Structure 1
Amino acid sequence: MFPVASLLTTVVLALFIVAGAVEVRSPSITLPFARSLNTRGGTLNLLEHDQARATALRGRGNASTAGKLDRRQDSIPATNEVTSYIAAVGVENLIVDTGSSNTWVGAGTSYVVTSTSVNTGEPVSVHHGSSSFSGTEYTDTVTLGSLTISQQSIGVASTSTGYSGVDGVLGIGPEDLTLGTLTNQPSTQIPTVTQNLFAQGTIPEEVVGISFEPTTTSSSVNGELTFGGTDSSKYTGTLNYTPLTTTSPASNYWGIDESIAYGSTTILSMTAGIVDTGTTLILIASDAFNQYQSLTGAVLDSATGMLQITTSQYEALQDLDFYINGVTYTLTPNGQIWPRSLNTAIGGSASNIYLIVNDIGTNSGSGLDFINGQTFLERFYSVFDTASNRVGFATTPYTDATSN
């Protein structure tokens, strides 16, 4: 189960570590995802988790910039879990995290040494605010669905915190994030899973496409991760790309530049932030958040930390527009609220209406002024293109859904 104080609201993917040869595949591999609600440890403090993660990402990104960081296409189906996306691929359930680049196991299910396991003897560790792991680096043959990766670096945890209910992380962030994570080789970069899939000829491009869909139930298969390209059946219209930002610390992640307007009012001028599967909510700079709260008339709910609005305020809610590289991505009023059928899962009242926009914790100008988390990505298809240094978005059949 996820502890309340260290809830991981990220994508989860099962990883299978086996002996075997590299398998060259046709252009497309899709892994399905399930988003499933886990409240066995109590109600879910989404805001507490997300803000702690934002603080850690900002700090780690700043350390990286300062040079001090201790830090053929295939698709896989997945299940929708409110706080995590889970794909059953093998024996290990791993969080797929665009805000981290190390792959590691052993938080839950113990790592089993195989004939392809090589213990490098290197201590390795990663810290993300309320969650962390430390252990030893191995290389091993890894499979994701029908994809096989040989000599993939993986961390094997001896200790971990904040990862109850999952076995570790599959990192699909930029390779630079692995700098400093090997204790004795802090200047060494570790090739990510996506990079090795490409280098070994298994996929034709260093591209990952991600499809999430809104859900109002505690468990439903409604997501997809595609290695090596995109799945056009999951989006509508045209994929539009934006270059990665050059503004630090967002530039150390899948960082982009965008501005945000509520109705006709710009609440966040063009600035840098990140796209992050590991964050549930949409977090924006404190000054933008205060303006959004004022314009919507929302009040802070003490039980959840979320903004709460009345029925009449919901009926008057205006669009929230994200301007990214000349293209507008609109969250309709329904897209700005937490699924009402899941209110009690986050400690709220079943009859309340909660907004999924919240405070990142610092004013604009910090270099990481927003995080477009899962609640944004559930309305837009996203593409993470390593070779071209860009992120893409497209509308989906669920962009204007009224399911919440």
Structure 2
Amino acid sequence: MPCVSNGPLSQVPVVNEAITYIAEVTVGVDNQTFHLLVDSGSSNTWVGANASYTYIPSSSSVWTDDIVIVDYGSGYFFGYEYFDTVALSNELIIKNQSIGVADFQQGFNSMDGILGIGPVDLTDGTILGSLAPVTTVPTVSDNLFSEGVISTEVVGVSFVPTTGASNEPEGELIFGDIGGSSRFTGQITYTPKETDYWGITQSISYGDTEIMASAIGVVDTGTTLNYMPTDTFNAYINSTGGTFDEATGLYEITQEQYDALDNLIFTIGGTDFPLTANAQIWPRDLNENIGGEEGRIYLAAVATGMCTLVQYRLTDDLMLLRPDPIEDLNFINGYVFLERFFSIFDNSNSRVGFATTSYTNATTN
């Protein structure tokens, strides 16, 4: 069983918005509220993507005259860098957080910005101006730790597969000690952080057949689907019998093929983390969000080498989400994986952890 802590948990609710997870964050002494995409694949925190929720400097704001520029797989932003008070919750308040304020952005119209929970190395080169030649800026996790708000620099991520219901359980971020959390079950498997990203080594099997030998890739809360190398993905599709669907950019299977699906097994740190048949498909109640048809079954995986963009429809905006342009990495475990397994991003020990949850074998999709 996991070690249980008697200390309080520092929790931040996050909401499933069909293709992203969003956290509500306040900035400044006047508590300006922003809804930010939770992204472990980047580390800068910024606001101002939505013109309806612009950042207004307050008495706690410090303007640096520095420029911040960050590229993402789904777009980019540039703007000015401020230091300000940032509150993730009533308990998680950072007094002096570097925060970007977008002057221009592309690809983020359905959110107010990004809460970056990736490693600090990913901020390297994003700030231009008086901070140079300083190459990195502390992340929210760094500052929570350095300001003594949390005792260990760890972020636990609990995502919950959606049912489409208005009263469904919310996800959660836990900063600091995760030991007392009821969000995971059993033992935690840890594996070393392999890259500047939250990179890990894993292999992938479909049923009893290995389809990807041990390789390095990343775990990314900001990527919706699971991305596999092209040959691995082709082996998976050939085994499942999926056919390409032009409307969604995903592969569709029949009910009979769904009933025959084997587990898709991710082996990490010597432990198997199997995605059941239900965990391998896009939530059927949300087919409309990706341009799909009611009653159809779509596999929630794509190839990293696919040249076509997978299109997702979110409210009235058409967003094109792709994995970040990460070279020499073989896979991305997106949030459809993280909805079935509790994940731990441990800066203090430079490692990533996973554990089962009550949703590992859920049939919500």
Give the TM bin, normalised by the shorter chain: 0.7 to 0.9
After superposition, give the CA deviation of every residue in 1:117-152 in whole Å (9 maximum; x if it has no partner): 111111111111331111111111111112211121
The match for 1:388 among 349, 358, 362 is 349
Aligned to 2:63: 119
Aligned to 2:16: 80
Change (3 A) 1:27 1:158: farther
Shift of 1:292: 0.6
Aligned to 1:107: 49
Counterpart-to-counterpart distance in 2, 1:258 and 1:357: 16
Shift of 1:362: 7.1
Change (3 A) 1:27 1:197: farther
- TM value normalised by structure 2: 0.86
Counterpart-to-counterpart distance in 2, 1:298 and 1:165: 31
After superposition, give the CA deviation of every residue in 1:250-283 in whole Å (9 maximum; x if it has no partner): x120000000000111111000000000111111
Q: Does the aligned pair in 2 maintain the 1:212–1:223 contact within 8 Å?
A: yes
Aligned to 1:96: 38
Counterpart-to-counterpart distance in 2, 1:395 and 1:196: 29
Counterpart-to-counterpart distance in 2, 1:77 and 1:187: 33
SS at match of 1:252: coil
Q: Does the aligned pair in 2 maintain the 1:27–1:204 contact within 8 Å?
A: no
- Please identify runs of 4+ aligned residues in structure 1 that moved more than 6 A: none
The match for 1:170 among 112, 115, 123 is 115
Amino acid at match of 2:105: S
Aligned residues: 329
Matched, 1:378 2:339: yes
Gaps of at least 5 residues in structure 2 are 1-5, 27-32, 308-326
After superposition, give the CA deviation of every residue in 1:378-400 in whole Å (9 maximum; x if it has no partner): 00000000010100100001101
Amino acid at match of 1:301: D
Counterpart-to-counterpart distance in 2, 1:143 and 1:99: 21
Matched, 1:237 2:186: yes
Counterpart-to-counterpart distance in 1, 2:110 and 2:257: 38
Change (3 A) 1:260 1:186: farther
Counterpart-to-counterpart distance in 2, 1:255 and 1:317: 28
Aligned to 1:210: 157
- Mean Cα deviation higher: 105-114 or 195-204: 105-114
Q: Does the aligned pair in 2 maintain the 1:125–1:135 contact within 8 Å?
A: yes
Amino acid at match of 1:154: I
Q: Does the aligned pair in 2 maintain the 1:99–1:173 contact within 8 Å?
A: yes
SS at match of 1:292: helix
Amino acid at match of 1:195: D
Counterpart-to-counterpart distance in 2, 1:134 and 1:79: 26
Amino acid at match of 1:107: A
Aligned to 1:3: none
Amino acid at match of 2:185: T
Q: How does 1:108-257 map to 2 (within 5 A)?
A: 108=50, 109-146=53-90, 147-184=92-129, 185=132, 187-217=134-164, 219=166, 220-230=168-178, 231-245=180-194, 251-257=195-201
After superposition, give the CA deviation of every residue in 1:162-201 in whole Å (9 maximum; x if it has no partner): 1113211111101011111012326521000101100011
Q: How does 1:309-324 map to 2 (within 5 A)?
A: 309-324=253-268
Counterpart-to-counterpart distance in 2, 1:259 and 1:354: 23
Q: Does the aligned pair in 1 maintain the 2:48–2:101 contact within 8 Å?
A: yes
Amino acid at match of 1:138: Y
Matched, 1:290 2:234: yes
Amino acid at match of 1:132: Y
Shift of 1:210: 0.7
Counterpart-to-counterpart distance in 2, 1:345 and 1:362: 21
- TM value normalised by structure 1: 0.78
Structure showing the higher helix proportion among its residues: 1
After superposition, give the CA deviation of every residue in 1:360-380 in whole Å (9 maximum; x if it has no partner): 1179xx631111001000000
After superposition, give the CA deviation of every residue in 1:18-51 in whole Å (9 maximum; x if it has no partner): xxxxxxxx9544xxxxxxxxxxxxxxxxxxxxxx
Shift of 1:87: 3.2
The match for 1:260 among 195, 204, 210 is 204
Change (3 A) 1:275 1:81: same
Amino acid at match of 1:79: V
Shift of 1:89: 4.6
Counterpart-to-counterpart distance in 2, 1:221 and 1:384: 22
Q: Does the aligned pair in 1 maintain the 2:198–2:218 contact within 8 Å?
A: yes
Counterpart-to-counterpart distance in 2, 1:401 and 1:313: 19
Amino acid at match of 2:198: W
Counterpart-to-counterpart distance in 2, 1:351 and 1:111: 42
Gaps of at least 5 residues in structure 1 are 1-25, 30-73, 246-250
- Mean Cα deviation higher: 383-392 or 158-167: 158-167
